[in-house]
Structure 1
Amino acid sequence: MTPDGAALLPRARHLVEQADHLVRTVRDADPTTVTLATPSESDPAVLARLLRLLDDAQLAVNLTCSDDGEPRADNSWTVTRCEPTSARWTVRLGAAPAPGGSDRPVRLSALRPRRGSPARPVLVLHHDLEPPQGERLHAAADAAGLSPALIRAKPPHIAFTEALAGRAQLLCTAAEARRHGLSWAPLADPPVRRGYRLAERDPLPAALADGPLRTPALQLLGAAVSAESDSPAPDTAESPGAEFPASESPGAGSPDRVTRRSKEQT
């Protein structure tokens, strides 16, 4: 380094530090990093489309799992399982492989062991046996004459392996069955659904709070957890700051928005 370079070095370092500070200040004033938390059964292909959409909009996204059920502490979208009657998205459960290979609705009673044939267990993914979902499922099985001993909760990789090997029936969604090459038929007595809710934690980037990116992003987010849903498409035209009508709760079709102020109050 020349004597002139040595003389300028402290000032040059100071200018670089000031430039970095300026960039951080702008980022803090207009947050563009979003934590996107979804349950483990979300469709990877659809989530990849959502990530590409957000990448094209130059939004930084931290993708994580929401199986602990708690909204994140930063600006985020968190999708968690919930009671279907208060869900933003629902998806129907069915039998895989489909009895007889037909995709027509099937009754739970059709999964009972045939006389003289070995009994095959009816496997259920762990989260579908958690209350209150598990209580409804057990009640439907009791009404269908299915022995409680036949209904067993298994981790996904074991449940799908047993179903693919023909050793068990599995209750899952159509998208999950298709992903693993299984035929599927919806349950019909009565339909059993899995529900999902959306929690939004402010501050969100303007493009996701009320901009044109919000509608397609929410559609993809819903499709990731309910690709075969028979529920209506989410209402993405709502105003993020609007009050919920008396007949509507944050979980019943509208996102549960959590502002920084409400976080501090709690």
Structure 2
Amino acid sequence: MTGRMDLLAHLEAYVATVDEASFSRAADRLGIAQPLLSRRIKTLEAHFGGLLFDRSRRQVATTELGMLLLPYAQDVLDRAERLGQAARSARQAQVRAVGVPAHCAPAALAGVIRAGTEHGITLGVRELPPQERVTGLADGSLTCALVRVAPEQGAFRVPLGLASAPPSDARVPEGAEPQGRRRRALHLEDLRPRRSRATGGERAAALPLLILTEDEVPYAYDRLVRAAARSGLPEGLIRSAGPAATALAETLAGRSMLLCAEPFARQHGATWAPLADASLHRGYDVQGTRRQRGAQDVPDWLVASLAGAAGATSAVPDPRRTGAPGEDAAARLAARG
């Protein structure tokens, strides 16, 4: 015998033969061919230096050595079974790290953790920048993650818009209306400076447009810069937001606008208007770590929960998918589960 796992297989053959008093029935019980079972018994007898069964009779009989060793063999198998159960319990209790965008609402992240608990899985939610989520999947430190993709290619989309100071501030961009009212979609050309009577007809300075780390992925940033240029916005208007707290302070004071999702703006008391250009929205896929062939996809209930936490409100139109193009992504994914 070459190892402990071989020993377990040989002991299983031995105990099953004692219980069944038949080589054929023992082989059927273990789901193996009878010649293989017989070879395991002979190998075990050679290892212990004596016969375990008397084969001279018509019915298989256990020898004295076989009866003497039987309780020890059963004990080894029982301990191996308990060891396996402990390993399964440990795997089920293991915290599975999930990578999500920074600045998700705490209540939404709590919903993700609660969904895991309901399915018997302990989830550890980690708020990370886009590239760190991709790296975490590659090195195995994350079990699954929300991965940024182009909005037209993602499983679901998160509309982006501009957060600004409350509407009492004269510099609120047109279309950014108070919460609860119908909001007109905002075009980037709406942000172009306009002539003001108070300044003798001179154009007022445009407010800086701040972007969070989540939207600094190269393709998204490039799209935004190109769209701003086509809209006639001043060069250099788009800037990195830096720390979120500083960006929010600047935005609520009316000194800038912040590109973000609606839940983030609402959470911090800012006015928000959606961008009309859907190509500037966030696209996401939920991807899992696949270290071996045959690994299962991320379960639908987790995909739906993460979609809600990210603020997904509309599915990407795709003729291969079911459901209307404007259908709520979280509800659609939940229905799949």
Answer yes or no: same fold by TM over 0.5: yes
1:139-171 C-alpha deviation (Å, 9 max, x unpaired): 110011011221111122222211111111222
Aligned counterparts, 1:12-31, within 5 A: 24-27=86-89
**2:141 corresponds to 1:141:** no
Identify which of structures 1 and 2 has the higher relative contact order when contacts are C-alpha pairs closer than 8 Å and 6+ apart.
1
Q: CA deviation at 1:199?
A: 1.1
Is the CA contact (8 Å cut-off) linking 1:75 and 1:202 kept in structure 2?
no
The CA deviation at 1:224 is 0.8
Specify the code of the residue in structure 2 equivalent to 1:223.
G
Q: 1:145 to 1:29 in 2, by over 3 A?
A: closer
| Pair 1:40-2:102 in alignment | yes
In structure 2, do the counterparts of structure 1 residues 107 and 30 end up closer, same or farther at CA, with 3 Å as the change threshold? closer
Distance 2:249 2:255 in 1: 9
Q: Residue in 2 aligned with 1:9?
A: none
- Is the partner of 1:34 in helix, strand or coil? strand
Q: Is 26-35 or 186-195 further displaced after alignment?
A: 26-35
In structure 2, how many angstroms separate the alpha carbons of the residues matched to 1:75 and 1:121? Answer: 35
Q: Residues 1-266 of structure 1 correspond to what in structure 2 (within 5 A)?
A: 24-27=86-89, 33-67=95-129, 68=132, 69-70=134-135, 71=137, 73=140, 76-97=143-164, 99-100=173-174, 101-102=176-177, 103-115=183-195, 116=202, 117-155=204-242, 156-189=244-277, 191-201=279-289, 214-229=299-314, 231=316, 232=327, 233=329, 235=333
Q: CA RMSD, aligned part only? A: 3.4
Structure 1 residues 191 and 134, CA, compared in 2 at 3 Å: closer, same or farther? same
Cα distance, 1:125 vs structure 2: 1.5
- What is the identity, as a one-letter code, of the residue corresponding to 2:127? C
Work out the CA distance in 1 between the residues paired with 2:278 and 2:125.
35
Note the residue ranges of structure 2 that are not aligned, 5 or more in a row: 1-78, 165-171, 178-182, 196-201, 317-326
Q: Equivalent pairs: percent with the same residue?
A: 30
* Counterparts of 2:234 and 2:217, CA distance in 1: 18
Distance change >3 Å, CA 122–CA 29, structure 1 → 2: closer
CA distance 1:74–1:48, change in 2 (3 Å): same
Structure with more strand by fraction: 1
Distance 1:229 1:23, change over 3 A: same
Bigger drift between 119-128 and 224-233 goes to: 224-233
More helix by share: 2
Secondary structure of the residue that 1:132 maps to in structure 2? helix
